[in-house]
Amino acid sequence: MIERIEWDDLPGEFRTAVEDRTGAVAAAETVAEGLNCAVALILTTANGTLFLRGVRHSDVDGMAALRCEEQINPTVGGISPTIRHRFDAGGWLALAFTHVPGQHADLGPGSADMDAVTFTLQRMQNLPTPGFPIPQLADRLEDFLEPGEAERLAGTCLLHTDTNPHNILINSDAGKAYVVDWAMPAIGPAWVDPAYTAVRLMECEQSPTEALAWLGNFTSWREADEQAVRAFVMATCRHWTAAVGEKDAEPSNRRFRYLLAYDWAAATRKSPSRQ
């Protein structure tokens, strides 16, 4: 787990820069779960509550990820919390987001959060491409694709690519789902984020049958190119096997292979307008 830095352990120059914009910080609560950054704090300030996320200047990968989040935030407005402030002082870069009161999404069987999660992922199907370079999903997987598969994964949809429960917040006041941590986006087919999420449902003990039924809520999935899905699944499995070894990769790879059990022929019969 990444080391977390407490508010009082941050450089005085940085804390002053924050309070000059937010007013005095009355309380700072460290968020332990998820988030690949050294600073993850809920700040209670004179002007309201904020979520502060920050990295050291020396953390090259962290800096790149945080700058990506900053650039992409206007595009994902209403889906991800809005950035309120940017701070660059004392050797640290940080973004202060509107705080979302609530908890991480429950993706398990019978969860009351699934309607909100589905609604937000439906909204993500139509996000515009931001005005800065984002890699194609096929480029990210290029070392694990067979000849001819990259073309099948070409697309124009902005993808999050990591919809694990820690990256989905359920607003306890409004019951709305927010998708956070847009540090590793890609461009590709619109069905990819629902597919990733279906695998997460299985990780959270929903059955493959339940996860595939949930996937059927998405037109992009029902109309997906079956061979494109196969290319995505097999490349992802090869990637994970290379990363952790065949034995350790098998539980995750099995969940991804379940995606190939979807009955696209039946989906086509139920949707005669499919092109």
Residue type, 265: A
**Rounded Cα–Cα distance for residues 22 and 28 (Å):** 13
The pLDDT assigned to 174 comes to 87
Contact between 259 and 212 under an 8 Å Cβ cutoff? The reply is: yes
Could you give the CA distance from residue 185 to residue 17 in angstroms, rounded to a whole number? 29
Angle of helix 226-244 relative to helix 246-258, nearest 10 degrees, comes to: 160
pLDDT reading at 268 higher than 80: no
* Position 273, amino acid: S
Q: What pLDDT score does 221 carry?
A: 98
Whole-prediction pTM: 0.93
* Angle, alpha carbons 46-52-54 (nearest 5°): 140
Please give the average per-residue pLDDT across 96-112, as a whole number: 96
Domains of the chain (ranges; CATH) run 7-98 (3.30.200.20), 103-270 (1.10.510.10)
Q: pLDDT tens-digit profile of 126-147?
A: 888 898 999 999 999 999 999 9
pLDDT at 272: 44
Counting every residue, how long is the chain? 275
DSSP string over 186-234: EEE-TTHHHHHHHHHHHHTT--HHHHHHHHTT-HHHHT--HHHHHHHHH
Distance of CA 257 to the CA centre of its chain: 21
